[in-house]
Amino acid sequence: MATNWTERIRAFCCSPSGFLTETSPDTFLSELLRELRDDRVSYGVKVLLLSPLCEYPTLLCSSESAGEETALDLMSVFTQCPSRFSQFRCHLLVALTGVLVCSSCVNGHSRAALDFLDLLLRMARDASDPPGEGTRRLLRATACDCLREMEASCPGLLSQRLELLAGLRQLETSRLHQAFGVLQILALRNAVYQLTKQAGAGAAHLKALLGGNGSVAWEADQEAVHMDATDAAMLSSLILGPMGRVPTLHTGPDCKELRSVLSSLLEESYLLTPLCQAALFHRLTEVVAMVPGIPPAVFRAQLLRLLGTNEVCLLHVTLLMKCGFTDSLFSAEDEAFLLKRLVVLSQHPLLSSPEKLFYMDCILHFPENRPISCGDSDEAPPVLLTPQLASVLLPSVFNDSATLLSRLNLQALVFLEEGDEESRGLAYIYDHLAALLHIVDRGGSRDIVVTFFRAAFLFLFYFHHVERYATCLSEQLCHLYLQHTRLAPHILNLVNQTQERLPECKWFVGLLQGLQRVITRVPFGQLPLHDLSSHLKVLDRVAEEEEICQRSSLCFLSTIVTQTSSSLCTSGDWRLGNGLLGVCRRVLLHPNLDSMLIPLADILQHLAFHYGDTDIRDHARLYYTFLTMLSREKLSAVLVQSAAEGGGQVKKRTLSCVMAESEGLTNTLTVHQTEKPIFQLTEALPGPHQEAENLQLNQEDEYKTLECYRAQFSKSGFASLIVLKYHLTHTEPHDPRFEQLFSIQLHFSLTDDHYEELQDISVPCLFRQGPPPVVQLTLKPRRPYPTTIHASAIFTSKDGLTWHTAMPDIHVAFQQVFLPLPAPPTWSRASTRDVFECLWDEMRHETGESCISLFCCQLGEAALKALVEKHFHSFLVPDPLEEAAEFRALLFLPPKSHMLLKIGSTEDAAHFNMATDDCRLLPQMNSYLLKVTSSLENSVS
């Protein structure tokens, strides 16, 4: 058995979703719990059995009820487990915590979560560890970690146990002192935050909270622990934003109890590890920020140790404290010392690059005592960071890429604040940029190339207004391109980013003019053919700018087209021809087209007659027709993809779109992906139940009912199918582009192998204003289990583009698999009754996979009758007496399983006697009955 479970657990952990295609989560969970309760299984194997619950609790316990039932079973196993098996008991506590938290039992205030919290608190208090053994200490440490996880998932849960937690920390002499301290400060921070949300809360409430030692929070006040998403986001860190946003608790000067608790925690903080110290100071800073009655000077005794630390986490929390309290805790001397220390650490040779980058980022976001800028996220050097102090962080070509760019950014900000365009610092930065360009020119690696262009963008971002350096950089880039045309994508990207981020700067226009000049002045005999493609891409981008005259570009095109007929035109290179047409298309849209009409027409006519590729000739001929036959306004209307009014409307396609490289042809042939689902399948309401006709058979036929019924399963044409009807509807909010959809092809993919593969379904059209079409989903089960079906679709929008969209998953519930008995059409009701009796007699002996079970619930006779009428009416087996004290239902679950029910009531409960020929269906049926009966129980209560 151990070997079998080892293989199964390994298979589950390797692919949980793939493993669950062979069985259902409920079945696998019930098998795990059964093995955990089995005394014959060794505890080493039981630890292995807990791993799925520890790692994938959400997958196995998808609902709160399933999580509570699983937790109760695990707590029963924990109670019965001998204390010497401490490792297994620790794993049990971890599994219980994961199940309760992930199934929302903690936030849902379930009884199982309350009992588990009481168990954890009892174990945390129990320090009676026998001499020479550490089993109890290990269990207490695990219990403390579980309590911290529960408090983090449900803030305020332990707010009534603050005095107990403080006592545990003070009395603990082992390593658990640290764990109890972290747990106490977390509970204290959450409790104080809750008080800030209560109207009228003050010093008396805080005093009562610190001295409280009652039950967990929700037993005293269930509403107190409820927090919305905004509170949860705020609790992640209360001091990352402006301090004005921190909620406060007005206690006045009378809060000596809280001051005593904080002092005790601070005095013992040096005993903790650096990470725990950072967490402790972070939470203490939040508490002091929320209680103005506690002065920030309470941290003063620890500040000297924090300022001299070499731990990253402690230095970070020191900066958080400075951000929160500024000059109320940090003097001007402290601020200057901290900044100098950051500068030293940013270039310390013994530190790693990530640490240095972190310290430089801290400098750029240094929380000043009296900040000049009001921005929360803008990078700006502090006032105390002078050029002389920052000179130790000048970039060098020997720095790695990230460090070089970070230092360059910092120095640029410092010299920008200085405002002197003739300073030596700015000259040094440009010389450094020129050195990088020289390395690229000498054949630098790809990393060096990327670093140079990023550095060039940073320089332009800050100093584009310094004309002397901007012009010099433009000239050097033109020379660099002429030597290395492969850098065209990098240069064009620099142009585009500069235009986008610096719209008021026209530096990029000058660079494009320089590139056009160096390209068109290259002698024809010195023009390599492999560079021509890059040249055409650059000239295409140059032609986009209205300020640049295109006459030299057309002369260049005319030269290479007319003088290379034997090599270029006759070769018929489609990509090269498409590049030529791309430049021509841009020129067709240029404002000064009238002055360039004749040279452009000559180029297009030559391509139309002499180019070796038919596609390029046809496109050139079409462009020539546009140029000679259409007016300026009509030409622009045809070539420009005008954006429709109304925001977000897809651009209309024109015939000319197929002429431009990577623009029209790609747009036409590409299947576009939607950002969100466009439509969905919603379950159609079922029609009224149809009563079966009461047909009569001859007496001799009724004796062979069961054999006749089973014989049809062996027929080749017999197939049990489940037909589910859905409406295809648009999702909300709607997108104007997809008001009318055509040629919709729905595709379905299964998440398990419980059903046969589904065929695609075609829907002719879907209009938002019209009635939703009905989609029939036909399932052929292999095993009658609930499942989830992934759905997607390909469709055509009204502008002719093809789109692919993901659709919301389709969830097939267990009750949707129920079908009436597939009886022959000539059967009578008495025949159905005979089949029920025969099947029940067979199943009650529990042979093979047959088994019986009983489900009970608190329902009155009237409520039970209403439940049967609502959920089992179509499956009832007629009773000839019509006065029987129980209902009988026969459910057929394809392909050939059955679930038989005898439903009755007594004075105090309703009973559902179940019999089935597939015992694996019982957990599903039990969950379904629990769901339908609990809703009636709640309505009655």
* Rounded percentage of the chain residues whose pLDDT exceeds 90: 43
The tens digit of pLDDT for each residue in 844-882 reads: 887 788 899 999 988 888 888 889 988 998 888 887 655
Does residue 585 surpass a pLDDT of 70?
yes
Best CA proximity match to 1, nearest among 50, 49, 53: 49
Q: 795 has which bridge partners?
A: 803
334-340: average pLDDT: 94
How far is residue 442's CA from residue 549's CA, in Å, rounded to a whole number?
Answer: 33
pLDDT band per the 50, 70, 90 thresholds, residue 216: low
Residue-level pLDDT at 829: 75
Structure tokens at 353: 């690059």
How far is residue 383's CA from residue 366's CA, in Å, rounded to a whole number?
Answer: 10
Structure tokens at 330: 């940090």
Q: Please name the residue that has the structure tokens 């305020």.
A: 156
Q: 724 has which bridge partners?
A: 777
Query: What does the DSSP 8-state code read for residue 581?
Result: H
φ/ψ of residue 792, rounded to 5: -150, 170
The tens digit of pLDDT for each residue in 512-536 reads: 999 999 999 988 777 887 888 899 9
How far is residue 298's CA from residue 325's CA, in Å, rounded to a whole number?
Answer: 12
Structure tokens at 449: 């190339």
Q: How many CB atoms lie within 10 A of CB 480?
A: 18
Q: If residue 188 lies in a helix (H) or strand (E), which one and from where to where?
A: helix 176-197
Confirm if 103 and 64 have CB atoms less than 8 A apart. yes
CB-based burial label for 840 (10 Å; 0-12, 13-18, 19+) = middle
Confirm if 863 and 806 have CB atoms less than 8 A apart. no
C-alpha dihedral (306, 307, 311, 312), degrees to nearest 10: 110
Q: How many CB atoms lie within 10 A of CB 810?
A: 19
pLDDT band per the 50, 70, 90 thresholds, residue 941: very low
Per the prediction, the chain carries an average pLDDT of 84
Does residue 694 surpass a pLDDT of 60?
no
Q: How many CB atoms lie within 10 A of CB 886?
A: 13
Mention every residue, 6+ apart, whose C-beta is less than 8 A from residue 915: 839, 840, 843, 844, 850, 851, 852, 853, 899, 900
How far is residue 72's CA from residue 62's CA, in Å, rounded to a whole number?
Answer: 16
810-818: average pLDDT: 91
Structure tokens at 246: 């921190």
Which range, of 247-261, 429-443, 805-819, averages the lowest pLDDT? 247-261
Structure tokens at 712: 């049809």
Structure tokens at 105: 């039992």
CB-based burial label for 448 (10 Å; 0-12, 13-18, 19+) = middle
How far is residue 347's CA from residue 604's CA, in Å, rounded to a whole number?
Answer: 60
Structure tokens at 74: 């695990």
More confident of the two residues 879 and 589: 589
Confirm if 263 and 296 have CB atoms less than 8 A apart. no
Query: What does the DSSP 8-state code read for residue 130?
Result: P
Structure tokens at 663: 């623009």
Mention every residue, 6+ apart, whose C-beta is less than 8 A from residue 113: 68, 71, 100, 105, 106, 150
Q: Can you give the three-state secondary structure of 443-488, one letter per residue?
A: CCCHHHHHHHHHHHHHHHHHHCCCHHHHHHHHHHHHHHHHHCHHHH
Mention every residue, 6+ apart, whose C-beta is less than 8 A from residue 916: 843, 850, 851, 852, 853, 897, 898, 899, 900, 922, 925
pLDDT band per the 50, 70, 90 thresholds, residue 828: confident
Q: How many CB atoms lie within 10 A of CB 186?
A: 20
Residue-level pLDDT at 213: 61
φ/ψ of residue 761, rounded to 5: -120, 135
Asked, as a colleague might, if the bond just before 733 is cis with ω within 30 of 0, I would say yes
330-336: average pLDDT: 93
Could you tell me which CATH number the domain at 672-685+704-816 has? 2.60.40.1230
Structure tokens at 314: 């402690």
The tens digit of pLDDT for each residue in 93-104 reads: 999 999 999 988
Does residue 719 surpass a pLDDT of 80?
no
How far is residue 88's CA from residue 358's CA, in Å, rounded to a whole number?
Answer: 42
Q: Please name the residue that has the structure tokens 């399983």.
A: 897
CB-based burial label for 331 (10 Å; 0-12, 13-18, 19+) = exposed
Residue-level pLDDT at 774: 93
Best CA proximity match to 890, nearest among 903, 879, 900: 900
**Which of 487-491, 838-842, 851-855 is modeled with the greatest confidence?**
487-491
Does residue 940 surpass a pLDDT of 90?
no
Does residue 714 surpass a pLDDT of 80?
no
Q: Please name the residue that has the structure tokens 């390395």.
A: 439
Strands (E) across 751-896 are located at: 761-767, 774-779, 787-797, 802-812, 851-857, 886-893
The tens digit of pLDDT for each residue in 874-911 reads: 888 887 655 567 889 999 998 889 999 999 988 778 89
Mention every residue, 6+ apart, whose C-beta is less than 8 A from residue 217: 156, 157, 158, 159, 160, 224, 225
450-471: average pLDDT: 94
Does residue 396 surpass a pLDDT of 80?
yes
Residue-level pLDDT at 695: 35
Residue-level pLDDT at 235: 59
Residue-level pLDDT at 434: 94
Residue-level pLDDT at 239: 60
400-406: average pLDDT: 93
AA letter at 391: S
AA letter at 46: K
Which range, of 464-468, 659-663, 693-697, 834-838, averages the lowest pLDDT? 693-697
| Domains in the chain: boundaries | 35-217+231-294, 295-370, 394-521, 672-685+704-816, 818-938
The tens digit of pLDDT for each residue in 46-73 reads: 999 999 999 999 999 988 888 999 999 9
Confirm if 508 and 492 have CB atoms less than 8 A apart. no
Structure tokens at 203: 């010093």
Q: How many CB atoms lie within 10 A of CB 940?
A: 11
How far is residue 820's CA from residue 872's CA, in Å, rounded to a whole number?
Answer: 10
C-alpha R_g of the chain: 38
Q: How many CA atoms lie within 13 A of 675 on its CB side?
A: 5
3.30.310, 1.25.40, 1.10.287, 3.40.30: which CATH number matches 818-938?
3.30.310
Confirm if 920 and 901 have CB atoms less than 8 A apart. no
Report the interhelical angle of 532-542 vs 507-520 (nearest 10°). Answer: 140
Residue-level pLDDT at 938: 55
How far is residue 833's CA from residue 836's CA, in Å, rounded to a whole number?
Answer: 5
Residue-level pLDDT at 146: 95
More confident of the two residues 810 and 83: 810
Mention every residue, 6+ apart, whose C-beta is less than 8 A from residue 101: 57, 149, 150, 153
Confirm if 345 and 359 have CB atoms less than 8 A apart. yes
How far is residue 382's CA from residue 190's CA, in Å, rounded to a whole number?
Answer: 34
The tens digit of pLDDT for each residue in 23-39 reads: 888 889 998 999 999 88
For residue 396, the SS3 value is coil
Does residue 377 surpass a pLDDT of 70?
no
476-485: average pLDDT: 94
Does residue 658 surpass a pLDDT of 50?
no
Residue-level pLDDT at 133: 58
The tens digit of pLDDT for each residue in 237-296 reads: 566 554 557 888 888 777 888 999 999 999 999 989 999 999 999 999 999 999 988 999
The residue length of the chain stands at: 941
The tens digit of pLDDT for each residue in 151-172 reads: 998 898 898 889 999 999 988 8
Does residue 741 surpass a pLDDT of 90?
yes
Does residue 506 surpass a pLDDT of 80?
yes
How far is residue 232's CA from residue 238's CA, in Å, rounded to a whole number?
Answer: 10
